[in-house]
Copies of this chain bind each other. A is one copy, B any other.
Amino acid sequence: MKTYQELTKKERKEEMERLQALYDAERAKGLHLDMTRGKPDATQLNLSMDMLLQNPYDLIYSRKGTDVRNYGELAGVDEAKELFADLLGLKMENIIMGGQSSLALMYDMMIKAIVLGVYKGSKPWGQQGPLKFLCPAPGYDRHFRITQEFGMEMITIPMTPHGPDMALVKQYAESDPAVKGIWCVPKYSNPQGYTYSPETVEAFAALKPAADDFRIFWDNAYSVHELYDEEVRLADIFELAKKYGTEDNIFYFASTSKITFPGSGLAIMAASERNLDQIRPILATQTIGYDKINQMRHVKYFKTADGIRKHMKSLAGMLRPKFEMVEDTLDRHLSGYDVARWTNPKGGYFISLYVERGCARRVYQLARSVGVALTPAGATYPYGRDPDDSNIRIAPTFPEVAELKTISKILCNCIKIAAAEKYLKNFN
Where the two chains meet, the residues of A that have a C-beta atom closer than 8 Å to any C-beta of B are 37, 39-40, 42, 45, 48-49, 52-53, 55-57, 59, 67-71, 99-101, 103-104, 107-108, 111-112, 114-116, 126, 142, 145-146, 149-150, 261-264, 282, 285-294
Indicate if the CB atoms of B285 and A149 lie closer than 8 Å: yes
Given A71-B39, A115-B111, A288 and B262 contact (CB-CB distance below 8 Å): yes
Chain B: which residue is nearest A38 at the CB level? B71
Chain B nearest CB: distance from A270 CB in Å?
Answer: 20
Chain B nearest CB: distance from A54 CB in Å?
Answer: 9
Of the candidates B42, B55, B286, B291, the one whose C-beta lies within 8 Å of that of A291 is B291
Indicate if the CB atoms of A67 and B49 lie closer than 8 Å: no
Of the candidates B101, B111, B293, the one whose C-beta lies within 8 Å of that of A288 is B101
Of the candidates B55, B262, B290, the one whose C-beta lies within 8 Å of that of A289 is B262
Indicate if the CB atoms of B69 and A261 lie closer than 8 Å: yes
B residues in contact with A261, CB < 8 Å: 69-70, 293
Indicate if the CB atoms of A263 and B286 lie closer than 8 Å: no
Indicate if the CB atoms of B67 and A42 lie closer than 8 Å: yes
Chain B nearest CB: distance from A149 CB in Å?
Answer: 5
CA distance A239 to B286 in the complex (A): 30
Of the candidates B126, B264, B285, the one whose C-beta lies within 8 Å of that of A115 is B126
Of the candidates B37, B56, B68, B291, the one whose C-beta lies within 8 Å of that of A100 is B291
Given A114-B115, A150-B115, A286-B107, A39 and B263 contact (CB-CB distance below 8 Å): no
Chain B nearest CB: distance from A156 CB in Å?
Answer: 19
CA distance A56 to B149 in the complex (A): 37
B residues in contact with A71, CB < 8 Å: 37, 39, 262-263
Chain B nearest CB: distance from A150 CB in Å?
Answer: 7
Q: What are 10 pairs between A and B in contact, CB < 8 Å?
A: A39-B71, A42-B67, A69-B261, A69-B262, A108-B286, A111-B112, A115-B115, A142-B288, A263-B291, A294-B294
